[in-house]
Structure 1
């Protein structure tokens, strides 16, 4: 193998290793949410979004905010992906990050998308962030505890391999099915009108409260014979319904919000 090829392979492997912990829902999860939302857009919203994106799909742009996190020009955006709040805190009592958080970012980018004076380039970036953050806020550990960095400091094993709790919820619970994002979307897109009606019309704080409530169960860890946390099939069985519910809710709610934003 030529030195240049070896260097490229090593660089690619290192890049994958470094970037993997920061992906919320992983690429598949975000693309599933984008695809589900795209399938539920109104014709008016779809047309206006196409004018901004030049045909780039919501699934395509959904991973961009994670892909740019290694760019020093975007380091300031890191706090936007999550919000920290303790079990006994409320939104009135919690100390919010002055550099921004996921709720503040959703509110801010919604305003950008509604502003007729904003350029298409800036609206495209705002839309990519918005699509991504709607996904992030539905991942329970993105409304996390500050003391363990949303589960990132909870070290455990996944089928015997070292990882952490946040990574399990970002990607492993979705990716274990070995489905493409389009296949996975088809598996979960049969949603009743009753469920849709109960999910829509809620605020960003409502979405965050749902994740805050759900996160407690994520810490109920399956253990091996040595009494060490080693997550396997039981954990997958116990938590896949929650994962798929949050993917469904995020996709439907993203479509709802975009249909409103681009209704005129």
Structure 2
């Protein structure tokens, strides 16, 4: 398993790819409004974390959490939602006071759509919306076994030992980079109209739609991310005795083969769905309900 070390992580490579996919699918009216909002970037007062494009917006929320930790600590729980894969899916679980990714996506879309707000506030909402839709499509930002979405599950990946790695990081970085750089490359301009319609289908109501999309990611964590990991308990939930001395798991070539299509699909869906939500928010005329 001589796998190349990735240069970029989900927080960079995959997020930027979702941004590219989304930009390619924005309507002319939405593109014009995004360009206008980008001119308000100085109002964010985050010079270490620039937003000059949709791709920049896709990684801005992670950047400001590192560069401006005190100012943006409030947003930390907005990037994920630990919904237990050992219980029936509940989109409202682990979302106290709306501090979770599925609650924040509709909220940020509403702020972006509100043309009475200052442009820099709407630009911040745009960045949050683009980023959070990407985060929600990473299965271990939704699925959980009381292990912080796989952060507490040690796992080896190639030459990287489990002492250095965990399952969440592998899906964020090593696995994502490998899956997304294998040919054929995902070309934003080549996503077909049929794919776009399929990925965007579902309820008109944004919270209901987000719940449906979250369920898809949660299913991948339940059916692939956890049970396919070699060397870890497959029982659900993990027995307390096993949890205290959890065996070190291993990401095998078979695991990668099963996970790769899911990673590629999730990134393509995320970009398409970002465009759907942004197009709705920035339509020249408000969408009737």
TM-score relative to the length of structure 1: 0.81
Query: How far 1:241 moved relative to its partner?
Result: 0.6
Q: Tell me, in whole angstroms, the C-alpha distance in 1 between the residues paired with 2:99 and 2:144.
A: 16
| Structure 1 spans left out of the alignment, 5+ residues | 1-22
Residue 195 (str. 1) matches residue 211 (str. 2):
no
2 CA distance for matches of 1:95 and 1:129? 20
Matches within 5 A, 1:1-264: 25-54=10-39, 56-70=52-66, 71-87=69-85, 88-91=87-90, 94-98=93-97, 100-145=99-144, 147-161=146-160, 162-176=164-178, 179=181, 186-187=186-187, 190-202=190-202, 203-216=209-222, 217-219=224-226, 220-222=228-230, 228-264=248-284
CA contact (8 A) 1:36 1:185 kept: no
In 2: Cα distance, 1:193 partner to 1:120 partner = 32
Post-superposition offset of 1:179 = 4.7
Q: CA deviation at 1:261?
A: 1.1
- After superposition, the CA RMSD in angstroms is 2.6
Mapped to 1, the partners of 2:91 and 2:101 lie a distance apart of 16
SS in 1 for 2:165: strand
In the TM superposition, structure 1's runs of 4+ consecutive aligned residues that sit over 6 Å from their partners are none
Partner deviation per Cα, 1:130-188 (whole Å, 9 max, x = no partner): 100010111111112261001111111111313011111111122236859xx986446
Cα distance 1:93–1:260, how it changes in 2: closer, same or farther (>3 A)? closer
Change in Cα spacing, 1:75 to 1:123, as seen in structure 2 (3 Å) is: same
Deviation for aligned residue 1:65: 0.6
| Whole-Å separation in 2 of the counterparts to 1:48 and 1:56 | 13
Give TM-score scaled by structure 2 length: 0.75
| Larger displacement relative to structure 2 (56-65 or 126-135) | 56-65
Report the 3-state secondary structure (helix = DSSP H, G, I; strand = E; otherwise coil) of the residue aligned with 1:196: helix
Paired residues, what number? Answer: 238
Output one character per residue of 1:10-49: Cα deviation in whole Å (capped at 9) or x when no partner: xxxxxxxxxxxxx982200100000011111111110011
> How big is the shift at 1:121?
0.9
